[in-house]
Structure 1
Amino acid sequence: MNSSSVFKIIPGIQSYDWGKVGKLSKAAAFAEVSIPGFQVEDKPYAELWMGTHEQAPAYLANDPSSKLSHYLQRNPQLVGDQVKQAFKETTCDGGLPFLFKVLAIEKALSVQAHPNKRLAEQLHKDRPDVYKDSNHKPEMAIALTEFKGFCGFRPKEQIVHFLDSVKEFRAFVEEKDVQDLKTASLDKEIKDALKRVFSGVMSAPQDKIAELTKAIVSRYTSQTHEDIAGDSIYAVRQLVLTLNDQFPGDIGIFCTFLLNVVQLKPGESVFLKADDPHAYIAGDIMECMATSNNVVRAGLTPKLRDVNTLVDMLTYETAPADAQLMKTTSLKGAAHTIVYDPPIEEFSVARVQLSRGESTKHDALNGPSILAVVDGTGLVENQGQSETMKTGDVLFVGAGAGIKIKSSSSSSLEVYRAFVQV
């Protein structure tokens, strides 16, 4: 068994139809390194789960029959007293407050939101067959490659512009609701009007969705590039057509006119608050979230849709796309390390980038963390012991363990570290 506070773990791999296929998937490529006996097949691999969630729990690399959660339950000092006290519900059975993932996205995920804590408890109580836990699920996405996703509502002016210029979109909305949104100036007025607009779109009958989807796809397909040259509608048109190819006749296609399309470069990130609509569209990301799998869906999915709950739960806050991006800070006392620190308690994520032969020291934290190596080779040291690392390796670091991360003399090193610090 492990005597160290730093050791390798075996993550879980998830195959969903929106994932990238075979070795094109970073989730699969990493799994080939970190999961003993795993062989990549010609099928989509969507997510690599690094944590204690029972749907795909991590195991100990040096004892593959032992779950990480069982080991942490027997060794609570690795989670830390302060974290156990702050997150009693998730840590009582050896669980971690956060779940770390690698996502490889070929097709759009469902238009969705995650319920806040109060709503999560109510949904779990009322419909435990659908909402299987009572936790909230704020999450953060950090781009590993160029990434595109829906995130939050567009500014009012943009939505009004599309209502005026896209007749198929406007046909879903009552004329009074269109005018109310146009004339709304106070924050509450805008939110109330936007809720009615969104409800009109997402609650439309299937025959109307089919008719209007067919109409907009036909119109956009017949347009030439010259028809729309220099028009901001070009990128929107392309996204509508792409989403229709992936989910023919789905109402989620019209979310293109309601939700921000956020584009991230590698290393850029976005934080998705509870009750905010979003959908990942394409790219590879590191994702960190509170340990939960609560999702309320309403479009771009064959899964169960709960439109009424989604319409009622959203905050209807509006902001430009670039306002969704997170700022980073430096990790105190640590070279070559930046931190993505969302406004919640459950997790933060650090990114370490080392050139050949470089190193950095991270002081001890009062909570646990998970390291994921996304590129290069090196090692991590703790109290005279060391673990080698290469692309795809996943390691656990216990509370109270200061570490030194070093790249090899022949390779640079990039590591993401999800952690909780109370």
Structure 2
Amino acid sequence: LIITAWRKNNTLRANTSNMEFMAPVDFKEDDSFTNDDVYNKRSLVDGHNWMELSEGIAITPTRLSISNAVRKPLKEVDNDHIHWNSMPNILRMPCSIDDEFDDYGIVTTVDLSMIRNAAANALDALIHKKKNAASTVTKENCLRYLECKAQNYAWGKIGSDALVARLKKDGCDNFTIDEEKPYAELWLGTHPNGMSTIIVPSKESDQVNSKIPLVDYVQTNPYLHLGVEGVTSPSQDYDLTFLFKVLSIKKVLSIQAHPDKLLAAQLHTDHPEIYKDPNHKPEMAVALTDDFEAMSGFRPIHEIAQHLREYPELSIVVGTTARNQISEAAKAHLHHQPKAVLQRIFVAYMDADHSLMQCQLENLNKRLLEKKESENFTDLDELIIKLANQFPGDSGIFAPLLFNHMKLKTGEAFYIGANEPHAYIQGDILECMACSDNVVRAGLTPKVKDVETLVKMLTYKCTIPEITRGQQVNDHCRLYIPPVRDFAIEMIEVPSGGSYEVKHVRSPSLLLVLNGSGTFLQGNVQSLTVNAGKTLFMSANTNAIVTANNESNLKVVRALTNVF
């Protein structure tokens, strides 16, 4: 079996010399395959037909096992061109560029939980080796300034109090802050709800610079700008896999969750006016201030049972049956399989009679205000009163009794997976996510609520979110890696007068200067001066030297596809 991969019209293609090219039935299901591909053994390529490598591929020759050892294939023997060692599942693939045999690429397979498009990765490795793509910066793929959109949602901080507004003003010469307006989010990316634009300098000194939507810019040459990770992404259109934001939070955000891929596609089909895209939206939040607070995930069963005893108003709302079930589960130490119990109590809470809910919210607010001056007044009590002041009469006021309440310091982060309930409460944060704007809401919001979908989609896991400070890569760089492929975050700090190489990766990058000033240099091709608020697009497989001015440290944050 010979697999040859190459580029043609900016599309990765592969050809197989045998008649069957399919996923073996004993492979485990993962994101790289559809159920049909895996379990029904549908052929991915027939005969000598071409296949666009838009998803993961697996190779099943007639024989189940070719070799017990991975060794360099013999060029003159076709059947020896691929050697598969099931432990630890290493696949060595011949590949070529421009129809000429060059070398072998090595990829890992299913034991690492993902088949990373074997032919495409082999080709990528070869291009790095043969053409030294990492150091190749031209006028076509050099760094470019971005202009990014600020979103004025009602929960944002007002005027200059918002980091979003200050960054927007500092990074954009013609932007003026409206001191009466909320500034909630600054978007960096290609999502149509907040598309960034590339600033392309005019060739003539007397002409105005042109602005191009970022998605149009990367699609002029997807392989050059996106690299293999982007060209072979599951997206039907060549696009960034991630969306990057800064949030300035004055009022609590809605109780919400983000759908997985299957649900997102269905919601987009059924209600495109609400759910604007078919993608999932896992995300990671990184605190930029020491006062960041959030709710995320269900509390442990015993904590919820305790809150039902301590806050009788919620106990009345959910009713006797749900209250007794959660109490029995807590006594039985039911920590590992609480889904059914959690779902019952959450549904009872969401479906509670409106007049009953309003009565108990009034009772709760009155009782906590009377308790405020006592020694028994807790942080949880304070949060409930805060929510009641922001959204009087909203059922979401009870949410802190069910969800984990988190407080993060600057540089701390946590990950939010698909179908997990959460709500940000206050603070300034970075947020990176899969490229989507799908939100299913159920409370603490004037926006459209979809309670029916939310109660069905949640995982109902009792999980205390892990708070991380990322991995310290070196003296200047800290890396935040989520458990998904869509995105990762680098936090880079260069001391005053110092320099640091922003290294090449197989992914495009979005760069935001948080504070300080300096220069990004790409040899004799590109030099861009930056200050707080400046945003840049960096094509795949390119690097840059960033130098901080002498006045202060330069802090830059980088969003990219998770290639780590």
TM-score bucket (shorter structure): over 0.9
Task: Quote the Cα distance in structure 2 between the aligned partners of 1:36 and 1:147.
Answer: 30
Deviations 1:238-292 (A, max 9, x none): 1111111110100001001001111110110111100000001100001111111
Q: Is the 8 A contact 1:335 1:361 kept in 2?
A: no
3-state secondary structure, aligned to 1:80: helix
- Secondary structure of the 1:418 match is strand
Partner of 1:414: 555
TM score, norm. by length of structure 2: 0.70
Aligned to 1:116: 260
1:383 matched to which residue of 2?
A: 523
Structure 1 position 210 matched with structure 2 position 358: yes
Residue of structure 2 in register with 1:81 after alignment: 228
Inter-partner Cα distance in structure 1 for 2:475 and 2:299:
37
AA aligned opposite 1:265: K
Look up the equivalent residue of 2:323 and give its one-letter code. Answer: V
Q: Summarize the alignment of residues 232-381 of structure 1 with structure 2, pairs less than 5 Å apart.
A: 234-320=378-464, 323-331=465-473, 334-381=474-521
1:339 maps to a residue whose letter is L
Is 1:68 aligned with 2:214? yes
Supply the distance in 1 between the matched residues of 2:532 and 2:294 (Cα, whole angstroms): 26
Q: 1:64 to 1:325 in 2, by over 3 A?
A: farther
Could you say which residue in structure 2 is the equivalent of 1:39?
A: 176
Q: Following TM superposition, by how much is the alpha carbon of 1:363 offset from its aligned partner in structure 2, in angstroms? A: 2.4
| Offset, 1:69 | 1.3
Letter in 2 for 1:58: S
Instruction: Give the secondary-structure state (helix, strand or coil) at the position aligned to 1:32.
Output: helix
Aligned pairs, how many? 411
Contact 1:12 1:57 in 2 (8 A): yes
In the TM superposition, residue 188 of structure 1 has moved relative to its aligned partner by: 6.2
Is residue 361 of structure 2 the alignment partner of residue 200 of structure 1?
no
Higher helix share: 1
Contact kept? 1:357, 1:408, Cα under 8 Å: yes
Q: State the shift of 1:381 in Å.
A: 2.0
Conserved? CA contact 2:301–2:334, under 8 Å? no
| Preserved CA contact (<8 Å) 2:322 2:348 | no
Code of the residue aligned with 1:54 in structure 2: it is P
Q: Per-residue deviation at 1:81?
A: 2.8
* Ranges in structure 2 where 5+ consecutive residues have no aligned partner: 1-137, 201-208
Amino acid at match of 2:549: S
Shift of 1:64: 4.6
Shift of 1:421: 4.4
Structure 1 residue 370: Cα displacement: 0.6
Cα shift at 1:108: 0.5
Distance 1:405 1:160 in 2: 53
**Residue in 2 aligned with 1:176?**
321
Letter in 2 for 1:23: S
Could you give the per-residue CA deviations for residues 93-112 of structure 1, whole angstroms, max 9, x where no partner exists?
A: xx311111111000001000
Distance in 1, matches of 2:192 and 2:139, equals 22
Alignment partner, residue 369 of structure 2 = 221
- Verify the 8 A CA contact 2:171 2:532 in the aligned structure 1: no
Aligned position for 2:294: 149
Amino acid at match of 2:502: H
Amino acid at match of 1:55: N
Distance of 2:259 and 2:372 partners within structure 1: 42
| Equivalent-residue separation in structure 1 for 2:234 and 2:227 (angstroms) | 11
- In structure 2, C-alpha distance between the alignment counterparts of 1:10 and 1:413, rounded to whole Å: 20
SS at match of 2:500: strand
Who is 2:541 aligned against? Answer: 400
The answer as to whether partners of 1:137 and 1:292 remain within 8 angstroms in 2 is yes
Distance of 1:19 and 1:31 partners within structure 2? 14
Amino acid of the structure 2 residue aligned with 1:151: S
Contact 1:181/1:190 (<8 A) preserved: no
Please say which of residues 123-132 and 38-47 is displaced more in the overlay: 123-132
Amino acid of the structure 1 residue aligned with 2:547: K
Kept in 2: contact 1:10–1:64 (CA 8 A): no
Output one character per residue of 1:197-252: Cα deviation in whole Å (capped at 9) or x when no partner.
111112212212211111111111122422xx2x4x51111111111111010000
CA distance in 2, matches of 1:239, 1:396: 39
Superimposed CA distance per residue, residues 38-61 of structure 1 (whole angstroms, 9 cap, x where no aligned partner):
110021011111111111111123
- CA offsets 1:170-195 (integer angstroms, 9 cap, x no match): 11123222222222244565221111
Matched, 1:190 2:341: no
Counterpart-to-counterpart distance in 1, 2:395 and 2:139? 51
Taking only the aligned residue pairs, the percentage that are identical comes to 37
In 2: Cα distance, 1:344 partner to 1:374 partner: 25
Q: State the secondary structure of the residue aligned to 1:101.
A: strand
- The letter of the residue matching 1:329 is Q
